[in-house]
Amino acid sequence: MRLKAAAKKPEINKRSSISRIKANQSRSLGSPVNDVLFLQRTAGNQAVQRLIQGARNNRNDASNVDFLSKQEEEPEVPFVDQAGPTKAPTTAPAAPVAPAPARPTNLYQILNTGWAPGPNRYGFQLQFTCRSTSGNVIDLQNQAPNLIWREHVAYPHNDFSHQINPPNPTIRPPGGGSFAPAHTTVIGPNLLRFNTITDTHWFPTWAVNPADFAPGRPGAHPLPAVIESRQVYQYSLNGGGNWRYFAGSFIIRRILFHDGAGNLRFLTRKTGVHGVTEAYKP
């Protein structure tokens, strides 16, 4: 019986020593000095020194990481001149840009039904209107007399040159047409009508002689006989110093021909605008 009791005694002592260590641990926690002394007693002085050195290294590394992170997250700090306080950068105000001058656009050609060619002419007459790039045609009128426009005409083909040979090219009207209020009428906020400029596509009857085109005649041209012109409209902002494109080109054809019944007819046509066919006028 004594032997069994003696064998169990070390187990009791072992348990009591473990409980004392845990009790010491619980009492020493919360005091940094006690923690170090406790580690020195239980793990040895050299082990404690290695732990302290490792903690220092870890703290230095963590400090570097924190610093870099802050550098990346911190907003940019403006440079401060030691000679004086920081001043916000200033920029010179932009100079006001002058608006571009209004320009004529959208040239319209309208048939003048009040004009008739009469017995001595073939053809028809057109009137003109236009708009302004500014949206207000008064801006065009205000640029007179510097703002003018004209019609530039060339004749690439003329079977009637033996009878009538217009100059090539022709400029109409001479000197250009005016946008001044005295020569125009505002018929809408952005629609201007020209009062003093018309485009009469007429041809004199005396220049049309069927005998000139009779077959077998020396030098005669067979029918149909054609005179063709091309029109380009231009404008100038400086009174004719420089010309710019306005509208065109338009092709005008005047043709003497026989219809299906053999009758002589004379056609005047402005492509895309208007055309008229008339009987031959002896």
* pLDDT at res. 53: 62
| Tokens read off for 110 | 């309208």
Rounded CA separation 53/49 (Å): 6
Query: What's the token pair of residue 189?
Result: 């906020």
Q: Which amino acid is at 174?
A: P
Q: Is the pLDDT of residue 10 over 50?
A: no
pLDDT at 36: 54
* Torsional class of 216: left (φ above 0), alpha (ψ -120 to 50), beta (otherwise): left
Q: What is the pLDDT of residue 150?
A: 95
pLDDT value of residue 196: 85
Q: Which amino acid is at 213?
A: F
For the segment 26-39, the average pLDDT, to the nearest whole number, is 52
Strand order through the sheet with 184-188: 104-111, 121-132, 191-204, 184-188
* pLDDT greater than 80 at residue 6: no
What's the DSSP call for residue 251?
E
Q: What's the pLDDT at 14?
A: 44
Per-residue pLDDT tens digits for 93-136: 776 666 678 999 999 999 999 999 999 999 999 999 999 999 99
pLDDT over 90 for what percent of the chain?
54
Least confident window among 31-45, 103-117, 144-158, 227-241: 31-45
* DSSP state, residue 208: -
Provide the residue ranges of all domains of the chain, joining segments of one domain with +.
Answer: 2-64, 104-279
DSSP class of 67: H
CB 228 within 8 A of CB 250: no
pLDDT digits (tens, 9 = 90+) for 141-196: 999 999 999 999 999 999 999 899 998 889 999 889 999 999 999 999 999 999 98
As given in the structure block, the two tokens for residue 193 are 């009508």
Q: Is the pLDDT confidence value at 71 over 80?
A: no
Residue 59's contacts (CB-CB under 8 Å, 6 or more residues apart) are none
Q: What is the mean pLDDT of the chain?
A: 78
Contacts of 171 (CB under 8 A, 6+ apart): 150, 151, 152, 153
Buried residues in 178-206 as b, exposed as e (16+ CB within 10 A) = bbbeebbeeeeebebbbeebebebbbebe
Q: How confident is the model at residue 20 (pLDDT cuts 50, 70, 90)?
A: very low
In this prediction the pTM is 0.62
Residue 77 clears pLDDT 80, i.e. is over it: no
Q: Which pLDDT score, from 0 to 100, does residue 75 have?
A: 47
Q: pLDDT at position 79, please?
A: 46
pLDDT number for residue 234: 96
**Helix 2-28 to helix 32-43 angle, to the nearest 10 degrees?**
150
